[in-house]
Amino acid sequence: MTSPGRIDRATAPSIGAERSAQRSAVPVSTVGRSSRPRRRRLDSAYLYLAPAGLLLGFVFLYPTLQSVWLAFQRNKGINDPGRFTGIDNFVKLWNDPLFWKITGQTFLWTVGVVAITTVLSYLLALILVQQFRGKAIFRTLVILPAATSLALSAVVWGFAFQPANLVNHTLALFGPTKGGIAWLANVPQAWVALIFVGICVSVPLTGVMLAAAMRSVPRELYEASSIDGASRVSQTLRITLPLTRTMLLITTLANFVVAFNSFPIIFVMTGGGPVNRTDILATWLYQKGFQLLDFGMASTLAVVVLGVLLVLSLFYVHLLIHRTKVG
């Protein structure tokens, strides 16, 4: 990570001097910047970051501050000037049994999706690093869900999960099912359906990333260990798994954040229903904000969601750095 920068720092002054000496003789694209090499170096780095910085500031920084501001207000909708109520919103949220119920559901959903996705993706990655006939087609087919709009996938899955539709029909081909299961009409089966779809859309990319990590494990390790008589299974457990641990931790964290924040699947398939039983914090927040127009409470919820994620992620990143240093 540091080597290009270091080379640059070491060589920049002399080259800079050389360059400005040359520039007076040969006018190349000067982009109208100061001719003092040191200052220009500093200024321009920030100039290059400016477009990205402005965009991120406009979309992330300012709205986050706004959210925090709104979280302490009673604010009912776009035309309400708002009134400060201190920590009232937070107290109300804390005392709301529905908040705790939905928080529980959020963790059920997140852990369910992430845990099963991780296991299945690892299996998929193990397949993706094998050679077999038709692999190119397999690779292409299996990655498709990663490129498909979540909203469209959710519409299609929601259709297929209707009681008299293709999911039940397909299940019936494999064995007798008692009538059609009304997948999305009630819990717990609605959670089974939602988590299933959540897994289907996150496995492809995770599998491809893990496969990339597996390919970067030096071949020689496998060759050496098979000379020592190690079986494929023990090679997988003793070589592949430890050496892909970093990527495994990265993808798990990424999937955790994505699932925790996930919106389109639940919003489209059940809308959080029946009566909030398939809501997670993200979909509940949307209802509060844009269906009940309670901007104050919704912002309070947004601040809580961000806080929880930040704490969990920092903890996880700490763990990750610690672990990989040891490993």
The answer to the question of residue 17 lying near another protein (CB under 8 A) is: no
In angstroms, give the least distance from the CB of 24 to another protein.
10
In angstroms, give the least distance from the CB of 62 to another protein.
7
Geometric angle at alpha carbon 116, from 111 and 122, rounded to 5°: 130
- For residue 20, give Cα distances in angstroms to 15, 34, 43: 9, 11, 16
Angle between helices 245-261 and 189-215 (to 10 degrees): 150
Which residues ranging from 100 to 129 are in contact with another protein (CB under 8 A)? Answer: 123-124, 127, 129
Which residues ranging from 158 to 177 are in contact with another protein (CB under 8 A)? Answer: 158-160, 164-166, 168-170
Pick the stretch among 84-92, 110-118, 185-193, 296-304 that binds another protein (CB under 8 A). Answer: 296-304
Pick the stretch among 90-98, 101-109, 110-118, 136-144 that binds another protein (CB under 8 A). Answer: 136-144
**Those residues with Cβ within 8 angstroms of residue 116's Cβ, 6 or more apart along the chain or in another chain:** 195, 199
Which residues ranging from 190 to 209 are in contact with another protein (CB under 8 A)? Answer: 200, 203-204, 208-209
Determine contact, residues 163/180, Cβ cutoff 8 Å. Answer: yes
In angstroms, give the least distance from the CB of 173 to another protein.
9
Q: How far apart (Å, rounded) are the C-alpha atoms in residues 278 and 102?
A: 8
Q: Which DSSP category does 260 fall into?
A: H
Burial of 42 (0-12, 13-18, 19+ CB in 10 A): exposed
The answer to the question of residue 44 lying near another protein (CB under 8 A) is: yes
Cis omega before residue 274 (within 30°)? Answer: yes
From 58, 84, 94, 315, residue interacting with another protein (rule: CB under 8 A): 58
In angstroms, give the least distance from the CB of 281 to another protein.
9
**Those residues with Cβ within 8 angstroms of residue 230's Cβ, 6 or more apart along the chain or in another chain:** 238
Residue 254, helix vs strand vs coil: helix
Burial of 200 (0-12, 13-18, 19+ CB in 10 A): middle
In angstroms, give the least distance from the CB of 187 to another protein.
21
In angstroms, give the least distance from the CB of 104 to another protein.
19
From 116, 156, 185, 192, residue interacting with another protein (rule: CB under 8 A): 156
Of 96 and 223, the one with the shorter C-beta distance to another protein is 223
Q: How far apart (Å, rounded) are the C-alpha atoms in residues 69 and 176?
A: 56
The answer to the question of residue 274 lying near another protein (CB under 8 A) is: no
The answer to the question of residue 305 lying near another protein (CB under 8 A) is: yes
| Binding pattern for the stretch 66-95 against another protein, x by CB under 8 A and - elsewhere | xx--x-------x-----------------
DSSP labels for 299-317? HHHHHHHHHHHHHHHHHHH
Which residues ranging from 233 to 272 are in contact with another protein (CB under 8 A)? Answer: 235, 240, 243-244, 246-247, 250, 254, 257, 260-264, 268
From 34, 223, 274, 319, residue interacting with another protein (rule: CB under 8 A): 223
Pick the stretch among 52-60, 91-99, 102-110, 111-119 that binds another protein (CB under 8 A). Answer: 52-60
In angstroms, give the least distance from the CB of 218 to another protein.
6
User: φ, ψ for residue 74 (rounded to 5)?
Assistant: -90, 115
- Following CA atoms 79, 262, 53, 246 in sequence, which dihedral angle do they give, to the nearest 10 degrees? 160
Pick the stretch among 93-101, 107-115, 157-165, 181-189 that binds another protein (CB under 8 A). Answer: 157-165
